[in-house]
Amino acid sequence: MRYGETGFNLEIDLSRGSVERVETDPGLTELHLGGLGTNAKILWDRVPPETDPFSPDNLLIFSAGLLCGTPAVGCNRTIVSTFSPQTHLMAFSMMGGFFAPELKYAGYDKVILRGKSPELVYLWIHNDKVEIRDASHLKGKGAVETAELIKEELKEPKAQVATIGLAGENRVYFASIEQGRSSASRGGMGAVMGDKGVKAIAVRGTKDVNIARPAEFIGLCNQVLEYIKYREENPIKGVPPILAGLGSPQEMAIHDEEWHTTSFTWGNARHRRKDFWTKEVEQKWKKTQESVRERLLSCYNCPMKCGALISVPGISKYMMKCYSKLTYTMAAMSDLEFGFTIAQRATEYGVDGFSTPQVMAFALELYEAGILTDQDMPGMPADNEGRFLWLLDRIVRREGIGDVLANGTYWAAQQIGKGAEAYAHNNIKKHEQLPLKLGMLNPIYFLMYATGEKINITQIEGNFPQAPYAKREDREEFVENWIQVPDEKFKQYFLDWDPRGECSMPFFPTVQACCEIVDWQEKMHYIDDSLGICAGLSSFPLKPPYHIHNLPTFISSGVGIDMDEAGLSQIARRNRTLIRAVNVRRGMRRKDDKPPEDHWKKRFPELEAELLDTYYAFKGWNSDGIPTKETLHELGLDYVSRDFIQRGILTDNGGASVRESLAET
């Protein structure tokens, strides 16, 4: 009997119209857990590195994390993986809601799509019954609208439906997959789904998920609930409201946005609006937010209520998630009412809430600079808000200039030319980032931005505070009950982190300490993304209920795999290294590991080079960011080193090949 997982994947060949239920290897669970880890192994094994993201040979994988469907609080993440049309690298995006548990209850750990359907279809998965159904009547429909129409058609109101909108159908590079209370947004998941001719996946399940040691497992779940209650009553002191509690950023539960609106540079603007946030603006935002927010909502088996049902006059109700209220509002430097209105349209279209506002702001910057002209923008309204709505409509339809912008700022700048490249300044690996314009370089964030395979900072940062506390006594109070640290030395790092003098950034923590902190934070994310735990209860917030000390016991009692901290850390390292290897095989190297040029006003090139050198050595990679033969062997990834040697990426003695060395030079 399999515990935690069902032991079966659903393989669907859209070109042939075939459906196959495939038993999985339990040995892979012991090596990679599930979710992101096993997704990476499948992509390594089955998608050659020269495969184009829009090739029939590319796979689109919907994976329920290993603990999804169990009583574990907040374990509801669907990990969607493919190769991104924007970066051409492995993309993985997590969505919450109810889809992953429902997939487990239907009897499957993953849905793996390959090939392309000649006509638009949707998939209906109801336990052992799996159908590929005609979706021609859904063509052009909005993502939320499509989900409702499918549930009505199936007469299954409890079905969970993941859908694309018009952006996905038209292969917009930053198209999302929408799923009720969450979405898989980053990396162009919706574009690949649309390219495969799949409008939606609907799933309904009534089976059970087995637990190895139920009484012990439930006891652990109750401890998590008790700790969540404790943290609600005892928020973290000395940090902005958005970081004081647990959960994904609870933008719809708070009103104090001074930190986000004055410290961040939204859209493509090259300056911060320090004068934006006033008491008058705060009161207006509070009034607007409370007038449109019907109720706060949670994902499956979670008490956190990180999202909200929004009802804006004149438009249909929709789910507001995370930063979306800010990204559109601040890109246009407009008011919150406009942000809620355009976010609803964007959700129906199915586009990423980080990339889309920046692409539109990028286009308007080019227009103001004279690089794009009235000939490129025929019929564009004169008012600011109207321009953003006009651009959004054209991007998702790939009409006129929208056809260029639909490929993201990097590729659009290459096509437009005439100096447009200088305005596409907020990319990492050709992908738009959370728009920041900060002062002095932060070495920890430099490493996370530069080297993170997720290419999205909120899926890299987490358990270590973002800034030092001014007073020593406040730092001492913080570390007093900091049980989540994997090693006591992290407490000392924070205690010694004084915001003044020699201990201010970028000179402290030391380079070695920076690597250790980054390794801890990314390790937690890689564990979460394999288990299906929401980052808001584990890898993202300060002092979360899930941490490296209790997660091994969850795995042992839930899945029946003997696990300790060292073993879990090794699996996280294996998964992280494998994903690096997947991307190395597709051409990624040290030259790609860099944050946006103007991310910080004050940079330290020599320190940045030292940070990368030390981090690579810490991870067991060579100077070009390629995992060494010794590291791959230690992690049980000898098949990767054999492949690298055959391709000339590594030599037989484990070093970089002559070809790679020349390329680096």
| pLDDT of res. 662 | 40
Residue 463 pLDDT exceeds 70:
yes
Phi, psi (rounded to 5 degrees) for 393: -60, -40
Question: Tell me: the pLDDT tens digits for 106-121?
Answer: 999 999 999 999 999 9
Are residues 542 and 648 both part of a single domain?
no
Domain shared by 606 and 640, yes or no: no
| 300: helix, strand or coil | coil
Same domain membership, residue 80 and residue 55: yes
Question: Which of 608, 622, 625 is CA-nearest to residue 514?
Answer: 608
Looking at residue 235, the DSSP 8-state letter turns out to be P
Summarised one tens digit per residue, pLDDT across range 136-172 is 999 999 999 999 999 999 999 999 999 999 999 999 9
Among residues 426, 452, 470, which one ends one of the domains? 426
409/455 same-domain check: no
The pLDDT of residue 547 is 96
Tell me, yes or no, whether 168 lies in a domain. Answer: yes
Residue 66 and residue 171 share a domain = yes
Mean pLDDT, the chain, whole residue set? 92
SS (H, E, C) 17-57: CEEEEEECCHHHHHHHCCHHHHHHHHHHHHCCCCCCCCCCC
Indicate left, alpha or beta for 500 from its phi (over 0: left) and psi (-120 to 50: alpha). Answer: beta
Long-range contacts of 418-421 (CB under 8 A, 24+ apart): 418/371, 419/369, 419/371, 420/366, 420/371
Please indicate, yes or no, whether residues 499 and 538 belong to a single structural domain of this protein.
Answer: yes
Asked if residue 27 has pLDDT above 60, the reply is yes
Residues 6+ apart with CB under 8 A from 421: 413, 414
SS3 assignment, position 654 = coil
What are 620-648's pLDDT values in tens digits?
999 999 999 999 999 999 999 999 999 99
215 located within any domain: no
CATH of the domain at 296: 1.10.569.10
DSSP-assigned letter for residue 433? -
- Higher-confidence position of 330 and 431: 431
At residue 460 the predicted structure's pLDDT band, cuts being 50, 70 and 90, is confident
Judged against a pLDDT cut of 50, whether residue 326 lies above it is answered with yes
Q: Are residues 19 and 105 in the same domain?
A: yes
Average pLDDT over residues 483-507: 79
- Mean pLDDT (whole number) for 469-489: 94
Alpha-carbon span 226 to 49, nearest angstrom: 46
**Residue 571: exposed, middle, or buried by beta-carbon count in 10 A (0-12, 13-18, 19+)?**
buried
Question: Using one digit for the tens of pLDDT, what is the confidence trace for 61-106?
Answer: 999 999 999 999 999 999 999 999 999 999 999 999 999 999 999 9
Domain boundaries, position 42: 8-204
* Helix, coil or strand: residue 318: strand
Does 123 share its domain with 180? yes
Residues 34, 142, single domain; the answer is yes
Is 559 domain-assigned? no
Instruction: Give the number of domains in the chain.
Output: 4
- The reply to whether 566 falls in a domain is no
User: Does residue 398 lie within any of the structural domains?
Assistant: yes
Looking at the fold, whether 22 and 155 belong to one and the same domain comes out as yes
Three-state SS for 176?
coil
Helix (H) or strand (E) holding 161: strand 160-163
- Residue ending a domain, among 180, 204, 228, is 204
pLDDT category at 332 given cuts 50, 70, 90 is: confident
Rounded CA separation 546/595 (Å) = 30
7 φ/ψ sector (left φ>0, alpha ψ -120 to 50, else beta) = left
Q: Are residues 139 and 46 in the same domain?
A: yes
Q: What is the pLDDT of residues 126-139, one digit of tens each?
A: 999 999 999 999 99
Q: Considering the domain boundaries, does residue 557 fall inside one?
A: no
Statement to judge: residues 446 and 520 lie in one domain: yes
Q: How confident is the model at residue 664 (pLDDT cuts 50, 70, 90)?
A: very low
Q: Is residue 562 part of a domain?
A: no
Mean pLDDT, residues 449-464 taken together: 85
CA separation for the pair 84, 228 (Å, rounded): 36
